[in-house]
A and B are shown apart, each in its own frame.
Chain A
Amino acid sequence: MGETKTRERDYAAAEVTMQPSKKQMVDLYTVMVTIRLFEGRLPQLYARGFTGLTHLYTGQEAVAAGVCANLRKEDYITSTHRGHGHVIAKGGELKFMMAELFGRKIGYCKGKGGSMHIADLSLGILGANGIVGAGIPIAVGAALSSKMRKTDQVTACFFGDGASNTGAFHEGLNLASVHRLPVVFVCENNLYGISVSQKQHQAIQDISIRAVAYNMPGITVDGNDVLAVYEASGQAIRQARAGEGPTLIECKTYRWRGHHEGDPNQGRRYRPTEEIEEWMKKCPIRRFEEKLSEEKILTVAKVKKIREEIEKEIDEAVAFADESPFPDSQDLYEDVYV
């Protein structure tokens, strides 16, 4: 994808062993940094009125990067209202994403969807989703479809701890397990359903134990450790592809910012500052960068180069979005029906 070398997706890398190659590790790092830097522009752009409602993924990048690195282009994902990371990790183009956030006609959804509805069917991205938990049954259906069409496509279904309390979660996981469908349920437990802490919204600590109820494997991993996510999801995806059924993976992580841009004081009404700072110390990108430096996979110069190239691509995406026209008034009435 794109012209930028740094972010060229290597789908062959999806045929992986447990241990990623050096190149794959650099790719994982690059995807995480892309998500971080792309979203890094959004608070300003939002505050200045360039974009509408948006929910940032900052702090959770290892989950999207680690899971999607195991997926092929034709595999599917369903995403959430906090979807930028998933879309970027699955190969979404920054300029069309940014144009969509700007509400421009050339954006992924012609400016009609915005941050919460970005989709790219050609990349298997079945859409971000504004309703908590709603992507789960849809992911199950995509998996059912792959099974019926006798392809070996896998669907990765992202959702949060909040969604794990919905009926859609239960109905979706139940249906997937009854039919042993090729879907991997990736629960990003960022400890809050909007403002309500996990302690207040469920009586369990590890959401993965809910897998027992569906007779499927359930595992909990450190969601800020991209290699842990990569390995756990890689195994689950290989099992799904081999027809061995679904898995529930819980990735424990944390969102740095408020629930959405505009959440007063970045969610400090309901989260202690110390807790936020504690999690920021566990930054998935810095941790991985340190590891890659120690192992001499990344040099300071290489890090600088990667970041510069991504910043340049984002600059171009912002300029592209800003220069693109808004939809025409007539567009309001189009695309209601096929």
Chain B
Amino acid sequence: MREITYAQAINEALASNLEKDERVFLMGEDIGKYGGLFQVTVGLLDRFGPERVIDTPISETGFVGAAIGAAMTGMRPVVEVEFLDVTTCAMDMIVNQMAKIHYMFGGHGKVPMVLRTPMGAGRGGAAQHSQSFHAFFLHIPGLYVVTPSTPYDAKGLLNMAILDENPVIFIEHKMLYVTTGPVPEEYYTLPFGKADIKREGKDVTIVATHAMVRRSLAVAEEFEKEGIEIEVIDPRTLRPLDKESILESVKKTGRLIVADEGTVSCGVASEISAWIAEEAIEYLQAPILRVGSPDTPIPFSRPLEKIYVPDEGNVRESINKMKEYL
């Protein structure tokens, strides 16, 4: 199968939806002539015109709110917020409006829209252009939260997100945009709430998201030489979460590491750990370990940023701790 980048896979999904559904349109800052800060929407303005690929003012409350109004009245907007950090400028729209309208209105009305935004440190973006607080959206019932780690997942999940009747927060990862992988040319969807076992193993389960999937897979290879078989599961959507697949894996291995790039405190890893502790503690043969970012803002200086970002070293360290319980 041909290989394309994560950014190209997202671009393909956007293009095919624009092509097949006239209700779909894109809105965001610099998504037209510029092609998106990360070149995800490149070429779409030329193909679909300025009425369906709308460059907006720098105005997150304005265009995210407008997408809500458009979604409520029959359209299928896909908005891009340039950095996850900047979703804070539209938080009322996301938290109080988009997420709650269906419930507040007693099941009447719906907000079928997708908000795409990239997270992740590693590009010297410092404290306001690198954050990974996607866990925040898990505190808000009414939103789906999608976290693709490969080009294949990104295309299939975005196609699904645009079809879905609910508001979807589609969290991309900046450092993954240039990564490549096999992606079918044709249209396909991947279901929400279905984890993907990226690697099978019987000794330790690593539940990993986004870039932590690649990092965990690399480390898993290293440990295979020592005879330690590591299973890597990517939930792919954090809400809905495929609890069944994670539980099954933990029951098999008896050991769990959760690796997510957000801060460890109150993060994705914390939530999954707590839930496993509640529901499967009798299967555990070792303490649950979390891999994530420290509780600091993200520093600018390269050496500091490198320490900040959870990487292969952090995953390796956790597995070494786990070895005491093997």
A contact set with B: CB distance below 8 Å: 76, 78, 107-113, 117, 119-121, 126-127, 129-131, 134, 136-146, 148-149, 155, 167-168, 171-172, 174-175, 178, 334-338
- What B residues does A148 contact at CB under 8 A? 25, 51, 70, 75
Contact of A131 (CB < 8 Å), options: B69, B96, B165: B96
Inter-chain contact A146/B93, CB cutoff 8 Å? no
Closest partner residue, chain A, to B98 (CB atom): A138
- The answer to whether A171 touches B107, judged by C-beta atoms less than 8 angstroms apart, is no
- Asked if A109 and B75 make an inter-chain contact with CB atoms under 8 angstroms apart, the answer reads no
Considering the complex, give the chain B residue whose CB is closest to the CB of A121: B109
Contact (Cβ within 8 A) A145 B73: yes
The reply to whether A141 and B107 contact each other, CB–CB distance below 8 Å, is no
Distance in Å: Cβ of A74 to nearest Cβ of chain B: 10
B63 cross-chain contacts in A, Cβ below 8 A: 137, 171, 175
CA distance A334 to B108 in the complex (A): 12
What is the bound-complex CA distance between A145 and B24, given in angstroms?
11
- Whether the pair A134, B97 counts as a contact (CB closer than 8 A) is yes
Once bound together, how far apart are the Cα atoms of A178 and B57, in whole Å? 9
Q: Other CB < 8 Å A-B pairs besides A126-B72, A137-B63, A141-B66, 14 of them?
A: A109-B105, A112-B106, A113-B106, A126-B109, A138-B66, A142-B72, A144-B66, A145-B74, A148-B70, A149-B74, A171-B57, A175-B63, A178-B57, A337-B102
- Bound together, the chains give a CA A27 to CA B323 distance in angstroms of 80
Interfacial chain A residues near B102, Cβ < 8 Å: 335-338
Residues of A within 8 A of B64 (CB): 137
B62 contacts partner chain A, Cβ-Cβ < 8 Å: yes
Tell me the complex Cα distance, A148–B57, Å.
19
Q: Cβ of A134 and Cβ of B92 under 8 Å apart?
A: yes
Q: Is B134's beta carbon under 8 Å from chain A?
A: no
The answer to whether A141 and B96 touch across the interface, beta carbons within 8 angstroms, is: no
Question: Does A145 contact B70, Cβ atoms closer than 8 Å?
Answer: yes
- In this complex, which of A78, A138, A335, A336 has the most chain B Cβ atoms within 10 angstroms of its Cβ? A138
For the complex, is B71 an interface residue (Cβ under 8 Å from A)?
Answer: yes
Chain A positions within 8 Å of B71 at CB level: 141
Residues of B42-69 contacting chain A, CB below 8 A: 51, 56-57, 59, 61-69
Residues of A within 8 A of B218 (CB): none
Residues of B within 8 A of A138 (CB): 65-66, 68-69, 72, 97
- Mark each residue of chain B from 99 to 143: 1 if its CB lies under 8 Å from any CB of chain A, else 0: 001111111111010000000000000000000000000000110
Contacts of A137 in B (CB 8 A): 61-66, 68-69, 93
- In contact, B108 and A145 (Cβ under 8 angstroms): no
On chain B, the residues within 8 Å of A334 by CB distance are 107
Inter-chain contact count A-B, CB under 8 Å?
144
Q: Are A174 and B69 in contact (CB under 8 A)?
A: no
Partner of B61, one of A129, A155, A168, A178: A168
B8 is an interface residue with CB less than 8 A from chain A:
no
Known A-B contacts A134-B96, A142-B72, A171-B57; the reply to A338 vs B110 at CB < 8 A is yes
Specify which chain B residues have a CB less than 8 angstroms from the CB of A155 in the assembled complex: 69
- B240, closest chain A residue (CB): A337
Determine how close the nearest CB of chain B comes to the CB of A327; give it in whole angstroms: 9
Q: Establish whether residues A127 and B109, one from each chain, have CB atoms under 8 Å apart when the complex forms.
A: yes
- Please judge, given known A-B contacts A140-B65, A336-B103, A338-B110, whether A175 and B59 are in contact too, CB under 8 Å: yes
Q: Is B205 part of the binding interface, using a Cβ–Cβ cutoff of 8 Å? A: no
- Give the Cβ gap from B138 to chain A, nearest Cβ, in Å: 13
A144 touches B142 (CB 8 A): no
Residues on B with beta carbons closer than 8 Å to the beta carbon of A78: 69
CA of A130 to CA of B107 in the docked complex: distance in angstroms?
Answer: 18
Which residues of B sit under 8 angstroms from A76, Cβ to Cβ? 73
Query: What's the Cα separation between A170 and B173 when bound, in Å?
Result: 31
Contact B62 A337 (CB under 8 A): no
Expressed in whole angstroms, the Cα–Cα distance for A15 and B107 within the complex equals: 33
With A112-B103, A137-B61, A140-B65: A337-B142 Cβ-Cβ less than 8 Å: yes
With the chains together, A135 CA to B96 CA distance in Å? 11
Whether B69 lies near A335 (C-beta < 8 A) is no
Contact of A141 among B70, B112, B166 (CB under 8 A): B70
B70 to chain A: which residues have CB within 8 Å?
141-142, 144-145, 148
Query: Given A121-B72, A137-B69, A140-B69, is A338 in contact with B105 using a C-beta cutoff of 8 Å?
Result: no
Cα distance A337–B142 in the bound complex, in angstroms: 6
B146 to chain A minimum Cβ distance, whole angstroms, is 14
**Which residues of B from 24 to 54 have beta carbons under 8 Å from A?**
25, 51
B306 CB → nearest A CB, Å: 36
Q: Is the CB of B106 within 8 A of A107?
A: yes
* B73 nearest CB neighbor, chain A only: A145
Chain B, Cβ-Cβ closest to A108: B106
A141 and B142 form a contact (CB under 8 A): no
Tell me which of A119, A139, A144, A175 contacts B109 (CB under 8 A): A119
Instruction: Chain A residues near B96: list those with CB within 8 A.
Output: 130-131, 134
Interface CB pairs A-B, < 8 A, 13: A109-B106, A112-B104, A113-B104, A134-B65, A138-B65, A138-B69, A148-B25, A149-B75, A175-B59, A175-B62, A335-B106, A337-B102, A337-B166
